[in-house]
Chains A and B, each alone.
Chain A
Amino acid sequence: MLHRDDWTALLLTFELAAVTTLCLLLVGLPLAWKLARSRGVRKVVVEVLVATPLVLPPTVLGFYLLLAFSPLHPPGSWLHDALGVSLAFSFEGLVVASCIYSLPFVVQPLQNAFEQLGRELPEAAATLGHGPLAVFFRMVLPNCRAGLVTATCLGFAHTVGEFGLVLMIGGNISGETRVASVALYDHAESLDLSRAHGLALTLLVLSVAFLAVVYGLRHRGRRQDGPA
């Protein structure tokens, strides 16, 4: 049903989303934990920076990232000279850009969950002899499952839905940077409506199925947490 190139685009999209979500969790968990436990001006500054992609047009972010990735001047030239890597128009570049773009969607639900958990339970765990890492993994994360699920799903879904940013810094290289949303745009532009329909419908069905699973998971999580 789907054209081979569209399958490639879809797989690339999910690969990008999966890698991005993984990176975001690695960065977002400690960042959200730190934000949830700090106060003052520094916290506000970091919160503003994290939230900026929410309000910024993706093309603006893409424009600045394109400049930054350019191997002709710093910082892109440093990376190019040191590692021989160029981020512009590459999959790695898309991952870096997606991470920045989707950061608030991961950090904010986690931060909310951590703030709601409060200090009392982590303190209690510390008095039982659990160090900070043990407290985090044995006590904090299991009690913030709902926030973790939300953060993971939002990060993933938001990356799948990216368009303007990818177009700005990734271009449209098949198998490398052409993700599903860009491919769909191409088909519509070239009036190849049957392929556009195929891709659009696939994305629609997958999105609804994805949400169904997420809501199902959250519902079950709530039931396990007790009669609310």
Chain B
Amino acid sequence: MAFEYVHPTEWKDAHRLLATEGSVAMMGGCDVLTKYRSGRLSKDLVVDLKHLSGLSEFEVSNLGANIGAATTLMKLATNSAFASYWPTISTVASRIASPAIRASATIVGNIAQNWSVSDLVPLLEVCDAELVVRGLTGDRRISMKDYGVAHSNSTLEKGEIISALLIGMPEPERHTVYERFTFKSGFDLPLVSIAISAIVRIGICSEVRVAVVGAHDMPIRSVSIESALEGRAIDKDSIDAAVLAMSDWSSPTTDFRASSQYRRYLLTVVLRKALIRFSAF
């Protein structure tokens, strides 16, 4: 099956084209063109958005990072100013997939494909990142924690286009760790992963955020694990409490990669590892 390919430079044209039946948005092409190649693309109009004004902007200021939707993973991972404020995100972005894919794939495309597993989404959730979404009536913001509803189902409305990702400047003494489990060390999606971010003052954690991949259908914040750690030092007791909270809260699925029981056990192991790393702060 063939498709028509257009690359609008005007926003109004992009909105109009995406409102057309059978259209699909494309940024880096990793998702859309892979589907096409394998015969799974059911659309006949591919709308390439990366030429729209503003989408290639990438700025780090004292307000935070404004990452245009066309910013590739490679560009993000090689920006030293970004790495100085968000070293964990930078490191993780530099290890996603392969160099050839990172040169094409965009960070927003990575989010927008809305997969049940992701390395970046849990990290962006604990960094309180927001998506800027442009519709026909103007811009609105969606918190990363509210974006994914279910696999391939987001809070994005018909015709809306993600224009940027915003990450606010981290508070002083906020630290973040990310721990993942994969079957192979390179070029693999995580089976489970955990991002933890908290402010640590005199050894005590506050404003704790924990996001988990593999515990439920989508990457999701865990209020119960966050509560187990809030106001406490990371020590044996708090780690045990967090692991217990994980066991109660997680409800993993069974699929071709692993059983629910295996994932649930793995989540406790990975959480313990992440917290032990976090205790160094």
Q: Do these two chains interact?
A: no
- Residue positions of A touching B, CB distance < 8 A: none
B: residues with CB less than 8 A from A are none
